[in-house]
């Protein structure tokens, strides 16, 4: 498969040189994100996030299965990330690239390991039955900032998702279909989000937020901070690259908190709007049912 096209020498040199003058190719400030937008699908658990020209789609699903033997009291929660040739023809189906592995590990650490979803609440019958919640992340268009956008999409999809209602009666488990009982939301504890810094220059002295794909190809180091709006840091990943001053990293974390608060507010707002839209539909549906009788 043809490899991802490298940017030209002219572009590489120019991006670095311009950043030293606090200039970015799209005219943004160094700590300015591209416009972030979230929308939800007709079905529960579909979140569509756009960040400039980057677009990520996440879909949450749930099914009843048998829990792992060593964790009989926990449900199963997985995040599946696969970059398709839609992202770029350089990605091949069933052949993970470095970008893909790093993305899925960061999401795993941010969302799953931070206990954002209460997996114990997914247990139905200890050791026998539990819910398996799965989020599929589809990168539809890649123009940098994948981790940040994907994280918003995953959190959005899970918070939007409703799993079928269940009941236990005399040791018999009943899973209701959506026609019988309205599905119920997941037990969600906190919303961790990612903010990625990119560093440029010989000593990584220029820190830039939300790098585009071209900037990502030129940067000397990057650092992803995951935290929730209460300022609780879930993870910091600085994978290789040029060493960066510790004080600068601290500075980055505090800016990240401001951004995460902004994103959380946007997410809350969009979820509330969607709930309102659905509620209206539900009311109309009830009216229609009335007429049928």
Residues that bind other proteins in the complex, under the rule CB under 8 A: 1-2, 4-15, 17-18, 21, 23-27, 41-44, 46, 48, 53, 55, 57, 59-61, 63, 80, 82, 84-86, 88-90, 93, 134, 136, 138, 140-143, 164, 175, 177-179, 182, 277-278, 281-282, 285
- 136: CB partners within 8 A, 6+ apart: 58, 59, 61, 80, 82
- Residue 134 or 238: the one with the smaller Cβ distance to other proteins is 134
- Residue 10 or 247: the one with the smaller Cβ distance to other proteins is 10
At closest approach, how far in Å is the CB of 231 from other proteins?
Answer: 33
- Residue 113 or 278: the one with the smaller Cβ distance to other proteins is 278
Decide if 55 contacts 152 (C-beta within 8 A): no
- Residue 42 or 202: the one with the smaller Cβ distance to other proteins is 42
Distance CA 94, CA 275 (A): 37
From the number of C-beta atoms within 10 Å of its C-beta (0-12, 13-18, 19+), residue 170 rates as: exposed
At closest approach, how far in Å is the CB of 238 from other proteins?
Answer: 27
DSSP of 28-90: --TT-PPPEEEEE-SSTTEEEEEETTEEEEEEEEEEEEPPPTT-TT--EEEEEEE--TTT-TT
- Residue 16 or 242: the one with the smaller Cβ distance to other proteins is 16
At closest approach, how far in Å is the CB of 293 from other proteins?
Answer: 19
Neighbours of 211 (CB within 10 A): 23
At closest approach, how far in Å is the CB of 60 from other proteins?
Answer: 8
At closest approach, how far in Å is the CB of 45 from other proteins?
Answer: 9
Decide if 144 contacts 215 (C-beta within 8 A): yes
- Residue 5 or 239: the one with the smaller Cβ distance to other proteins is 5
Region of 178 (left: φ > 0; alpha: ψ -120 to 50; beta: rest) is alpha
At closest approach, how far in Å is the CB of 84 from other proteins?
Answer: 6
132-159 CB burial, b ≥16 within 10 A, e <16: bbebbbbbebbbbbbbbbbbbbbbbbbb
At closest approach, how far in Å is the CB of 240 from other proteins?
Answer: 22
């Amino acid at each position: 498969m043809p490899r991802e096209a490298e940017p030209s020498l002219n572009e590489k040199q120019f991006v670095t040189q311009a950043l030293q003058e606090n200039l970015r190719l799209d005219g943004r400030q160094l700590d300015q994100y591209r416009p972030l937008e979230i929308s939800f699908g007709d079905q529960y658990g579909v979140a569509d996030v756009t960040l400039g020209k980057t677009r990520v789609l996440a879909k949450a699903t749930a099914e009843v299965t048998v829990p792992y033997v060593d964790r009989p009291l926990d449900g199963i929660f997985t995040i599946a990330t696969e970059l398709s040739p839609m992202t770029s023809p350089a990605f091949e189906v069933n052949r993970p690239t470095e970008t893909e592995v790093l993305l899925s590990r960061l999401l795993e650490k941010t969302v799953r390991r931070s206990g954002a979803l209460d997996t114990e609440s997914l247990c139905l019958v200890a050791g026998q039955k539990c819910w398996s919640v799965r989020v599929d992340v589809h990168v539809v268009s890649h123009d940098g900032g994948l981790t940040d956008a994907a994280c918003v999409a995953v959190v959005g999809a899970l918070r939007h998702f409703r799993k079928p209602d269940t009941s236990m009666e005399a040791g018999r488990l009943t899973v209701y279909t959506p026609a019988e009982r309205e599905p119920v939301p997941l037990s969600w504890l906190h919303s961790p989000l990612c903010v990625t810094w990119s560093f440029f220059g010989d000593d990584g002295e220029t820190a830039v937020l939300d790098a585009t794909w071209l900037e990502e190809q030129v940067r000397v180091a990057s650092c992803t901070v995951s935290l929730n709006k209460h300022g609780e840091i879930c993870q910091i990943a600085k994978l290789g690259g040029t060493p960066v001053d510790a004080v600068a990293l601290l500075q980055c974390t505090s800016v990240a908190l401001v951004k995460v608060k902004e994103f959380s507010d946007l997410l809350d707002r969009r979820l509330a709007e969607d709930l309102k839209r659905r509620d209206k539909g539900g009311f109309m549906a009830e009216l229609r049912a009335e007429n049928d009788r």
